[in-house]
Amino acid sequence: MTVLEATSVTKRFGGLVAVNDVSLTVSEGEVVGLIGPNGAGKTTFFNCLTGMETPTSGRVTFRGTPLRGRPDLILKAGVARTFQNIRLFPNMTAVENVIVGRHARTSAGVLSAIGRGPRYRREERESEEVARDLLAFVGLGHVRNELAKSLPYGDQRRLEIARALATEPGLLLLDEPTAGMNPNETAAAVSLVKKIQGRGIAVVLIEHDMRFVFGLCDRVAVLVQGEKLLEGTPAEVQSDERVIAAYLGKPPEDAGPKEKKK
């Protein structure tokens, strides 16, 4: 089943074309890598998928339903993400951070919350149970009552993923999930993504660690100067001369993005 279908997505900021005519299809349970030099438009493309930015043109669908509007509505549709810079609530515990993510799937109204009615109390108990299970799933069950700000960097990354999983996504977007990690933490991240894939959740990740990408992903797409240069298996991508040249900063004249028509 196709989970995500992005067709000819373009994002302009005035005269700057950050993403130009990029298409990407992701199937259920698939892990897809999105790579490219700094400034290639990878995070902007993620922002277009999640409502952080409105595409100038193009179409994005999740399980056949068009995605548009506010990020919270896209989250409820089933698309969750993490960020390049960790965005946790530092003075809340690990379990409280995950419970915040779970609120996307609760239905108690404002009056029930104010009065702490039966539905509110039931959903709070259920949310805490789910949060505890997810913390155990990502390997953080032993620190569930620790403040987020006191956790090591790698644990904070995993906590952010647990919070995203609390929203029950069908598609999880990870923006540089191993940035700043040591080799042991990176190896743990590989195992975690495989466990997430085992739950049938599709994953698209932006990453600069090529060993991580090529050892984990089913397919890899390469962005250069806002355009998709190549998409294929890890073996195809890592052996392509255009990709090698792009990372060296000297793309061949016939391999770079096409010149924009005036």
Domain ranges of the chain: 1-78+169-262, 91-166
User: Using one digit for the tens of pLDDT, what is the confidence trace for 104-144?
Assistant: 766 654 444 455 566 667 778 888 999 999 999 999 999 99
Give the C-alpha separation, 82 to 87, whole Å.
8
User: Using one digit for the tens of pLDDT, what is the confidence trace for 48-79?
Assistant: 999 999 999 999 999 999 998 889 899 999 99
Residue with tokens 């660690």: 209
Burial (Cβ within 10 Å: 0-12, 13-18, ≥19) of residue 87:
exposed
The pLDDT assigned to 3 comes to 96
Residues 171/61, Cβ–Cβ less than 8 Å: no
The pLDDT assigned to 125 comes to 84
Residues 238/210, Cβ–Cβ less than 8 Å: yes
Closest by CA position to 25, among listed 61, 50, 65, 57: 61
The pLDDT assigned to 192 comes to 96
Residues 177/193, Cβ–Cβ less than 8 Å: yes
The pLDDT assigned to 140 comes to 96
The pLDDT assigned to 121 comes to 74
Q: Are strands 202-206 and 31-35 parallel, antiparallel or unpaired?
A: parallel
Given a cut of 50, the residues of the chain with pLDDT beneath it are 109-113, 251-262
**Which residues, including other chains, have CB under 8 Å from residue 45's CB and lie 6 or more apart?**
6, 9, 11, 19, 22, 34, 223
The pLDDT assigned to 114 comes to 52
pTM exceeds cut of 0.75: yes
Q: Is 171 helix (H, G, I), strand (E, B) or coil?
A: strand
CATH 3.40.309.10 fits 1-78+169-262, yes or no: no
